[in-house]
A = this chain, B = another copy of it.
Amino acid sequence: MELLTTNNVWMMICTALVFFMHLGFAFLEIGLTRQKNTINILFKNIFIITMGLLLYCLVGFNLMYPGDFNGFLGFAGFGLDAPMADGALDLAYNGGYTYWTDFLFQGMFAATAATIVSGAVAERMKIGPFMIFTVIYVGLIYPIAGSWKWGGGFLDKLGFYDFAGSTLVHSVGGWAALVAVCLLGARIGKYKDGKPQAIPGHNIPLATAGVLILWLGWFGFNGGSVLSADPELTSLVLVTTCLAAAAGGVVAAIASTVMYKNLDLTMFLNGILGGLVGITAGADVMSPTNAIIIGAIAGLLIVFAVSFIDKLKLDDPVGAIAVHLVCGIWGTLAVGIFGFSALTNDAGEFLNASGSVVATSSEAANSLSFLPQLYGVLAYAGFCIISSFVIIFILKKTVGIRVSEKEELEGLDAHEHGMDAYPDFRLNER
């Protein structure tokens, strides 16, 4: 009972921290875009967290955790239904925390996928179609995709490992971001004579605050994914998470300084996020050293991916594809490369976070090989690309997904919301 209470307290705190990430996403997205689209972005983010929770309550939770199912699609019914045992609530539910906490923690995760897309399509997508997309993606696609691993589906049985969602959350959002950006096209003025132009964000202090809030939220995102307050595992997870974030940031800052002769704060910030996304798949099984390596590689990837995506004429205002998709894939594969490296003893055997031997090195290589990770990445790529393409393509051909040129130039705030974000400040036109 005491342990249940403590586990539940930890999980509730982590839930609160993941909730708070939505302020981080909002700050990051408005900070890295222009002032004239600020209200629109805030509206989208507020819509995602509120509607996301309601949808996850209505259908998502029971799609994602359907109980026994065929491994691809299952549904346990509408709404919440607390499990009972002997006429009282089943306190042994999930062995660590309550049904209510479970729902809320997972619900906070669900909204994240749509938030990732929001950043990539910022400044030019119509809000109506975006809201429709959000409803379908958060309400149906994310939970079905999630069920394949966290609901005990076919990828779980294949040995695919994704601790807190480098793939299940970040790539799932990242693939849809990629598809949406392809179907939307670039913002007016982003490419001149075929060359990408910088469109600087309008409020870098808020963007920076967004990244620090997201980092704080990751204490809950990864720490809560232990699904208990197990002292060794939770604290190891926080250490690997923070070290990967730090390494990602520092390496991205160094790389971009070398390449562009400029101390680029935005790259520093995206490097931190890349490190966080990269460690997420294996935060509970990495040694601190490997966490630093994974984060550092994520930081490098960010610098090259942002530039490469730009050259492909994929206009992603906040770098969401580089951060969430590229580093999400990297983090997932990294688990297959580094394996359960958190701890080894003098005999070279692999230990889990509690110090008991998991495997000798050869067994570890067998039990957690690279291939299941690759299968997972590919399965999610296929499902997410196809489903988001179908949704957004239908929206494009029916109601349209892009605002008019006039609206884009004058800003979505004035046209879709009739509001200014900062009416007291004199503003430059961009």
Contacts and interface: CB of A to CB of B under 8 A. Distances in A.
A35 B2 CA distance: 50
B229 A100 contact: no
A407 interface: no
Given A5-B229, A104-B238, A212 B26 contact: yes
A205 interface: yes
Given A42-B208, A46-B269, A54-B250, A235 B89 contact: no
B202 A12 contact: no
A245 B97 contact: no
A9 B6 contact: yes
A136 interface: no
A88 interface: yes
A340 interface: no
Contacts of A215: 19
Contacts of A27: 205, 209
Interface in A371-430: 416-428, 430
Interface size class of A (residues with CB under 8 A): 35 or more
A272 B19 CA distance: 14
A103 B3 contact: no
A103 B205 CA distance: 29
Interface string A74-88: 000001101010011
A361 interface: no
Contacts of A15: 219, 238
A261 to B, nearest CB: 9
A54 B205 contact: no
Main secondary structure on A side of the interface with B: helix
B26 A208 contact: yes
B243 A53 contact: yes
Nearest to A89: B355
A167 interface: no
Nearest to A10: B9
Contact of A50 (B84, B89, B219, B250): B250
A12 B218 CA distance: 13
B289 A79 contact: yes
A156 interface: no
Contacts of A337: none
Contact of A343 (B23, B82, B209, B351): B82
Nearest to A218: B16
Nearest to A11: B235
By CB atoms of chain B within 10 A, which of A231, A234, A423 has the most? A231
A110 interface: no
Interface in A99-147: 99-101, 103-104, 107, 127
A34 interface: yes
B216 A12 contact: no
Contacts of A26: 205, 208-209, 212
B3 A5 contact: yes
A280 interface: no
Contact of A238 (B91, B101, B212, B246): B101
Given A10-B12, A19-B216, A203-B421, 12 more contacts: A2-B3, A8-B235, A12-B234, A16-B17, A20-B212, A23-B209, A26-B212, A38-B205, A57-B243, A84-B345, A87-B355, A425-B428
23 contacts: A2-B3, A5-B230, A8-B231, A8-B235, A15-B238, A19-B215, A19-B216, A19-B242, A20-B216, A26-B208, A27-B209, A38-B204, A53-B242, A57-B288, A57-B292, A80-B239, A89-B343, A89-B355, A107-B242, A200-B423, A204-B419, A265-B419, A423-B428
